[in-house]
Amino acid sequence: MTAPTTQSRSSTRLAVDLAKTLPLTDAAKSLITPTLSARQFFDMLAAQPQLAEDAIRFLAVALPKREAVWWALLCVRSALLKPPPEALKAISAAEGWVKQQTEASRRACGEAAELAGHGTAGGCLADAAFWSGGSLTPAHLAVIAPREDLTSIAVAAAILLAAVIDPENAVANRAKFVALGLDVANGKLKWQ
Give pLDDT tens digits for 79-132: 999 999 999 999 999 999 999 999 999 999 999 999 999 999 999 999 999 999
Instruction: Determine, yes or no, domain membership for 68.
Output: no
pLDDT tens, residue by residue, 35-71: 999 999 999 999 999 999 999 999 999 999 999 999 9
* pLDDT exceeds cutoff 90 at 139: no
129: Cβ contacts below 8 Å, ≥ 6 apart = 69, 93, 94, 97, 98, 105, 106, 109, 151
Instruction: Determine, yes or no, domain membership for 20.
Output: no
CA distance 70 to 11: 19
- Could you give phi then psi for residue 88, rounded to 5 degrees? -60, -40
**What domain range includes position 114?**
82-166
Instruction: Determine, yes or no, domain membership for 181.
Output: no
Please provide the average confidence, as pLDDT, over all residues in the chain. 92
Residue 9 pLDDT level (bands cut at 50, 70, 90):
very low
Number of domains in the chain: 1
Instruction: Determine, yes or no, domain membership for 153.
Output: yes
Amino acid at the residue 50: Q
Amino acid at the residue 121: A
Instruction: Determine, yes or no, domain membership for 10.
Output: no
pLDDT of amino acid 12? 65
Across 133-143, average pLDDT = 94
Instruction: Determine, yes or no, domain membership for 37.
Output: no
Across 15-26, average pLDDT = 96
